[in-house]
Amino acid sequence: MQTMQHKQETVPVQAHVAMVPSPGMGHLIPLVELANRLVLQHNIRVTFIVPDDGSSMKPQKKLLESLPEMISTMFLPPVNFEDLPDNVKMETRIELSMTRSLPAFRDSLKVLVQSELTTGRLVALVVDLFGVATFDVAREFGVPPYIFFTSTAMELSFIFLMPELDEKFACEYKDLPEPVKLPGCVPVHGSDLMDPVQDKNDNVYKWVLYLAKHYPSVAGFLVNSFIELEPGAFKALMEGESGFGVPIYPVGPLVQTGSNIIDNVDDHFECLKWLDQQPSGSVLFVSFGSGGTLSQEQLNELAFGLEMSGQKFMWVAKSPHERASNATYFGVQSIDDPFDFLPKGFLERIKSNGVGLLVPSWAPQIQVLSHGSTGGFLTHCGWNSTLESIVHGVPLIAWPLYAEQKMNAVILTDDLKVALRVQVDENGLVGRDDIAKYARGLIKGEEGKLLRNNMKKLKDAAAIVLSQDGSSTKSLAEVAGIWKNQEKVEN
């Protein structure tokens, strides 16, 4: 039976929403921000029902325990993956985490429905983009399911179009003769479409196609983007040019704010102190997110390239992995000697000349991006990191690794023009000379100035949409009003 953390609440509430994140902190964090806004702005109670894929749940628990009293948590029992091979794909593990948790999820939802007299009527189930498996259970209890789409309107448009593309093309997407033209979006080459759809014979492709065919049955989409960021894509989705007439609510950018929910900030005071000592806008922040990993050869090229650039840099460095670009997605690596994988003499040289700082595995990214000394961000283009960059006005070097990150890079470079995109050579590597060129260009070059100006405009737009009369604030208020009215009607 699941464990439950329930915080005492004396304030009467009008409605109660259950939320189910799929495994990975990258999916939980924006859902937490959505929950915070529902509580603080709309007095809606939230309960998280959290599947357990068997990896360490310590980061998730620490984050969830820090939330306001009107947010409770139910942790489901760990899922058994002993029957899976060690090299199982990330998406397969996420899918099975959800489907194998369904019996426990049903028990949890039943508890919430039966406790409505004390916690408020359960008016909606909000899952992320991988949560389709929960729909039937929600409907069994008369609870309408919604999807909180943690990525772009462009990706949502592609998923809506996927069944049509599947029927139209027999070839792999990477072999398409022409770019895919999604309504309201810049063209996307087939090779830049998200990784899970690149192999039509793979079970992961079939699963994404299954999701696409079931998306039309959802009650609505809350999208972690905003109209001013993707005006064409949202216009097409909301006016029926793409999609299936399902209500669309742009509610982003929802990103972490403040040190109260940032883990281990005190432990990383050294890196913030180092930033304090650097000139304004001089530092390139280098991080591939919680899951991103590089091969040893690529890691060497990155180290030498950063050193050759002559630019100040702060690098969140993780051990190399030869097979997977998302090797740490389900948990942070254990560290003995955190930098023994670096080229010989590299650490000593950057320490002696003060050009760079290495941070093992994790850094307080919000604090780094908001710091005046940070002038650029070399990123894997995960959507959380992308939105954080936009909110703080930091231009980018786009280095996509997995999932939908190549599609994000297309938006950032071809559409918004706030990023330089790395190019791989014939050996599949980004070479040190190019890395040095990107770093110099972003921090000191004329192109970097243009990208910085464009990003400043997006930063201002992001602040406006989240203001009291902003489009995203109004959009969230609209769906919150639907949920509150549903509670009143039922009673």
Structure tokens at 481: 């009003």
Residue 265: the pLDDT is 53
- Mark whether 353 and 414 lie in a shared domain: yes
- Mark whether 175 and 97 lie in a shared domain: yes
Largest Cα–Cα separation, the chain: 70
Nearest alpha-carbon partner for 454 in 412, 423, 422 = 412
- Mark whether 437 and 476 lie in a shared domain: no
Report whether 414 contacts 186 (CB < 8 A).
yes
- Mark whether 400 and 484 lie in a shared domain: no
- Mark whether 420 and 471 lie in a shared domain: no
Q: Which residues, 6 or more positions from 201, have their beta carbon under 8 angstroms from its beta carbon? A: none
Alpha helices by DSSP H, 84-230: 90-99, 102-114, 116-119, 135-140, 153-168, 203-214
Residue 119: the pLDDT is 84
Q: Which residues, 6 or more positions from 43, have their beta carbon under 8 angstroms from its beta carbon? A: 11, 13, 14, 70
Report whether 220 contacts 248 (CB < 8 A).
yes
Residue corresponding to tokens 């039509």 = 200
pTM of the model: 0.93
What positions carry a catalytic annotation? 27, 128
The total number of structural domains that make up the chain: 2
Question: What's the CATH number where 286 sits?
Answer: 3.40.50.2000
**Side by side, which strands form the sheet with 374-379?**
356-360, 312-317, 283-287, 374-379, 396-398, 419-421
Residue 24: the pLDDT is 85
Nearest alpha-carbon partner for 479 in 118, 150, 139, 34 = 34
The CA distance from 134 to 127, in Å, is: 8
Residue 269: the pLDDT is 79
Q: Which residues, 6 or more positions from 470, have their beta carbon under 8 angstroms from its beta carbon? A: 464
Q: Which residues, 6 or more positions from 275, have their beta carbon under 8 angstroms from its beta carbon? A: 283, 314, 368, 371, 373, 374
- Mark whether 397 and 292 lie in a shared domain: yes
- Mark whether 322 and 405 lie in a shared domain: yes
Q: Sign of the CA dihedral 246, 251, 253, 259?
A: negative
Residue 385: the pLDDT is 97
The CA distance from 363 to 481, in Å, is: 38
- Mark whether 299 and 439 lie in a shared domain: yes
- Mark whether 222 and 270 lie in a shared domain: no
- Mark whether 421 and 481 lie in a shared domain: no
Residue 322: the pLDDT is 86
- Mark whether 47 and 188 lie in a shared domain: yes
Tens of pLDDT, residue by residue over 448-462, are: 999 999 999 999 999
**Side by side, which strands form the sheet with 15-20?**
3-5, 71-78, 44-52, 15-20, 122-128, 145-149, 221-223, 248-250
One-letter amino acid at 310 equals G
Count Cβ neighbours within 10 Å for each residue of 442-465 and write b for 16 or more, e otherwise: bbbeeebeebbebbeebbebbeeb
Cβ-based neighbour number of residue 118 at 10 Å: 9
Its domain, for residue 302, covers 260-463
Structure tokens at 33: 């921000």
Report whether 23 contacts 330 (CB < 8 A).
yes
Residue 1: the pLDDT is 43
Measured in Å, how far apart are the chain's first and last C-alpha atoms? 30
Residue 396 per-residue DSSP state: E
- Mark whether 297 and 235 lie in a shared domain: no
Question: pLDDT under 50 in the chain at which residues?
Answer: 1-2, 8-11, 13, 259-262, 334
